[in-house]
């Protein structure tokens, strides 16, 4: 791979930039100070081996910060920068959202002062993990110490410990906000913080975690070893996407999804178990119900043994309209590929959300947010790497659900908020339900809410406002679902 810069342990120079700003939130002018900087990891020989890059927003008119929350936020991947959560809904500046299914990947791009920013009630730290965004892996031979489920989580904890000491925030309430794989990162970090890591204990505890696009499961990495039929796990999301596009009912999306889930949990899962033992009458009844809830055709179900594949579903649900829906956000569509292209394989990564929004977020972040933060680096800003292909998926300390349960049990009072989009075909809502039903989490401290959106819940002006209001409630100790 071509690089425009290379780092050697001997010559890496940590960067640090500061800025001042004001933002009007809820009728009040809020002054703030920012620090964007490398947070360097050193090897046993004292040489720099890697850096997490952070963007910290501090409200500057607060003297006593001991009770002021600090929110540490990041995206997922693994291998994704904080670009989306930073420019999407948490930064003092963010992009604007028109019709979610925007027609083009190109500008004009509009960036505004974020009216939904949480800076009035909490300080914000956006995190680029090692090797992505402005985070760097200086010594590539050290990758094994950062590029893995538990390795990544311990690097985050090491960073947070150092950050809180540097800025005298060890007394402050601490929250994690992770999106997608960021949920895996949060659960693992919280569990290790409570129970210790591979070689050491940690001195931080988290008051709460916000999980956006849940990847916490009771199985192995990303739920691959959950012994539940994938068609059943994905069924609530299939129903949500069908509701959005095909309008099979006057019910709300939540009502329709709830009804679809009840069918999937009883009749559908039993029918898939029985297979060819189903009578013709039973089979026709199941086909009728599945097509009603999911929007797939009778022919599709017969061809696939009554099962639904989440990849082929994207090309099936709007096939009559000549469209495919996005994996990241089922509201968004693109034309079906030509018949000579194998849609199931080649169409998987041709995604209407990523294709149209990645350039928007990148342009907003690098063209507006970072210049206003006075960040001037002769370093590639890498919005996504392919680290997930070689990620160490072995979690010796337990599943992500084990880690979250351990943290919530050992840290009484810790709360978790699961926020998921009804139209998210990437991290389907069924995994939230399954985790809650099997992970033995303390139900009185777990909150769950569905949003009329996809994987990135904040795409859409109503969506971003709703999500930020709910996180605000959560930081204030309230029930975010009410």
- Residue in 333, 364, 240 with CA at minimum distance from that of residue 294: 240
Looking at 332, 350, 368, the residue that finishes a domain is 350
Q: What residues make up the domain containing 334?
A: 242-350
The answer to whether residues 341 and 362 belong to one domain is: no
- The answer to the question of residue 7 being in a domain is no
- The answer to the question of residue 80 being in a domain is yes
- The answer to the question of residue 12 being in a domain is no
pLDDT digits (tens, 9 = 90+) for 342-379: 445 544 567 889 888 999 999 999 999 999 999 999 88
- The answer to the question of residue 457 being in a domain is yes
Q: What is the pLDDT of residue 1?
A: 39
Looking at 303, 323, 350, the residue that finishes a domain is 350
The answer to whether residues 392 and 327 belong to one domain is: no
> Which residue ranges in the chain fall short of pLDDT 70?
1-10, 222-225, 338-349
CATH number for the domain including 36?
3.40.50.1820
Looking at 312, 331, 350, the residue that finishes a domain is 350
Q: What is the pLDDT of residue 12?
A: 86
- Whether 452 and 459 have beta carbons less than 8 Å apart is answered as no
Q: What is the pLDDT of residue 238?
A: 98
What's the total number of domains in the chain? Answer: 2
The answer to whether residues 271 and 381 belong to one domain is: no
- The answer to the question of residue 471 being in a domain is yes
The answer to whether residues 36 and 115 belong to one domain is: yes
- The answer to the question of residue 54 being in a domain is yes
- The answer to the question of residue 288 being in a domain is yes
The answer to whether residues 79 and 33 belong to one domain is: yes
The answer to whether residues 373 and 321 belong to one domain is: no
Q: What is the pLDDT of residue 117?
A: 98
The answer to whether residues 308 and 384 belong to one domain is: no
The answer to whether residues 30 and 174 belong to one domain is: yes
Q: What is the pLDDT of residue 7?
A: 60
Q: What is the pTM of this model?
A: 0.95
The answer to whether residues 343 and 400 belong to one domain is: no
pLDDT digits (tens, 9 = 90+) for 40-77: 999 988 889 999 999 999 999 999 999 999 999 999 99
- The answer to the question of residue 307 being in a domain is yes
The answer to whether residues 251 and 271 belong to one domain is: yes
The answer to whether residues 332 and 364 belong to one domain is: no
The answer to whether residues 280 and 156 belong to one domain is: no
């Amino acid at each position: 791979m071509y690089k425009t810069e290379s780092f050697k342990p001997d010559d890496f120079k940590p960067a640090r930039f500061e800025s001042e700003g004001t933002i009007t939130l809820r009728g009040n002018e809020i002054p703030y100070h920012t620090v964007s900087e490398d947070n360097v990891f050193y090897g046993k020989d004292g040489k720099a081996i890697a850096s997490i890059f952070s963007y910290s927003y501090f409200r500057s008119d607060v003297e006593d910060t001991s009770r002021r929350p600090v929110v540490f936020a990041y995206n997922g991947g693994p291998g994704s920068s904080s670009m989306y959560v930073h420019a999407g809904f948490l930064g003092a500046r963010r992009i604007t959202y028109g019709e979610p299914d925007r027609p083009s990947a190109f500008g004009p791009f509009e960036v505004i002062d974020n009216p939904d920013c949480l800076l009035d009630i909490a300080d914000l730290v956006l995190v680029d993990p090692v090797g992505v965004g402005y985070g760097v892996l200086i010594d590539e031979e050290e990758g094994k110490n950062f590029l893995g489920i538990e390795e990544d989580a311990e690097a985050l904890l090491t960073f947070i410990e150092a950050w809180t000491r540097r800025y005298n925030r060890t007394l402050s309430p601490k929250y994690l906000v992770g999106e997608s794989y960021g949920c895996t990162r949060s659960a693992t970090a919280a569990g290790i913080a409570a129970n210790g890591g591979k070689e050491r204990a940690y001195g931080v505890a988290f008051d709460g975690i916000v999980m956006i696009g849940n990847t916490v499961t009771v199985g192995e990495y990303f739920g691959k070893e959950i012994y539940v039929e994938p068609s059943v796990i994905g069924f609530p999301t299939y129903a949500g996407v069908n509701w959005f596009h095909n309008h099979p009912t006057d019910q709300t999306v939540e009502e329709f999804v709830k009804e679809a889930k009840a069918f999937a949990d009883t009749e559908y899962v039993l029918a898939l178990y029985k297979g060819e033992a189903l009578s013709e009458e039973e089979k026709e009844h199941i086909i009728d119900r599945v097509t009603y809830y999911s929007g797939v055709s009778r022919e599709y179900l017969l061809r696939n043994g009554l099962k639904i594949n989440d990849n082929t579903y994207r090309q099936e649900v709007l096939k009559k309209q000549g469209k495919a829906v996005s994996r990241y956000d089922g509201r968004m569509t693109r034309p079906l590929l030509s018949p000579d292209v194998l849609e199931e394989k080649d169409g998987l990564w041709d995604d209407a959300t990523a294709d149209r929004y990645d350039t928007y977020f990148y342009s907003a972040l690098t063209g507006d947010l970072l210049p206003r933060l006075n960040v001037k680096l002769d370093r590639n800003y890498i919005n996504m790497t392919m680290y997930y292909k070689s990620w160490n998926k072995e979690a010796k300390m337990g599943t992500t659900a084990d880690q979250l349960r351990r943290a919530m049990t050992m840290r009484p009072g810790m709360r978790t908020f699961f926020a998921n989009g009804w139209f998210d075909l990437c991290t389907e809502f069924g995994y939230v339900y399954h985790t809650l039903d099997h992970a033995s989490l303390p139900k009185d401290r777990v909150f769950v809410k569905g949003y009329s959106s996809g994987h990135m819940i904040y795409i859409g002006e109503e969506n971003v406002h709703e999500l930020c209001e709910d996180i605000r409630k959560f930081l204030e100790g309230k029930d975010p679902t009410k």
